[in-house]
Amino acid sequence: MLLFTAPADLKSHLEEIHGPKTTLGLLPTMGALHNGHLELMRRAVAENDLTVASIFVNPLQFNNPDDLTKYPRTLDEDCAMLEAAGCDLVFAPSAEDMYAQPPTLKLDFGQLEHVMEGAFRPGHFNGVGIVVARLFHIVQPDRAYFGQKDLQQVAVVRRLVEDLAFPLELVVCPTVREADGLAMSSRNRRLNPQERVLAPLIFRTLSEAKERLLAGQTVADVKQRVREQFARQPEFSLEYFEVADARSLQPVAATLSDGQTALCIAANLGAVRLIDNVLF
Ligand code: PAF
């Protein structure tokens, strides 16, 4: 496995090895890899002739400076895991490699900016959009792999691909969970042992809410119940629990009949912000 830090070096290497008869899969990450990332990489390896994983903690997408500073950085460990999963190339630029000058471009994802992650993390999707577009330009993948856990990010990247006509296929893979249901996330390693025991409440809440909606309870009642459940848990601070259309991510007042309802949650557990969702 080869490691590149300079975008120009990776680009010229890929120009040599990625011809029209080979397919290239890209897995964009911010490192601190876990089994969820490795599942995506294994799928990319199975579906492509060549694979690139990017590891870049993108400052543009952090609206909270403390979150950026505390984001785990584990490059050596990440590279060893990627190599074992069959990855061919790792792209791990510094912020200076990636942004010689701070980008001034502002992307507007319309209504996606006004709900859930868009509403609670101003500027976040602008940063995601800019870095993902840059990665697509540098790597020019045939397929790009993203996890369903970041459902709204998937919707944003889909818009980016459509609006800017990137010639690639977006592959979205199911959320990988710990045995107790907690969605795998790089942030989980920042939970202390007590918080780690409490964290599965998020997935339990989503699963229970789904059952209640399927049993005919109204969206308003289910939302109220979730708010009450979290109010009883002082360790958590609930940012949002939303019942939304899984494609547009806009809130819905009743579940959709075509299997496209998404239940989405974001909550802070101590100093760690966790998100999760289920679709049905
Ligand atoms: O999901 C992530 O890890 C990041 O948002 C991404 C897509 C790598 C962009 O920095």
73-101 pLDDT per residue, tens: 999 999 999 999 999 999 999 999 999 99
Is 34 catalytic? The answer is no
The Cα–Cα gap between 276 and 67 comes to 18
The DSSP bridge partners found for residue 2 are 89
The answer on pLDDT for 167 being more than 80 is yes
The angle, 0 to 180 degrees and rounded to 10, between the axes of the packed helices 151-163 and 124-139 is 60
The answer on pLDDT for 258 being more than 90 is no
- Cα 30 to ligand 1 centre (Å): 6
Q: Give the burial class of 66: count Cβ atoms within 10 A of its Cβ; 0-12 exposed, 13-18 middle, 19 or more buried.
A: exposed
> What is the overall mean pLDDT for the chain?
97
Identity of residue 225? R
Output the CA angle 252-61-41, nearest 5 degrees: 85
pLDDT in tens, 192-212: 999 999 999 999 999 999 999
Q: Which of 13, 18, 34, 37 is catalytic?
A: 37
The Cα–Cα gap between 119 and 112 comes to 9
CB 54 within 8 A of CB 139: yes
Question: Measured from the CA of 56, which atom of ligand 1 is nearest?
Answer: 10
- Cα 128 to ligand 1 centre (Å): 6
Rounded mean pLDDT, 12-28: 95
**pTM for this prediction:** 0.96
Question: Measured from the CA of 29, which atom of ligand 1 is nearest?
Answer: 8
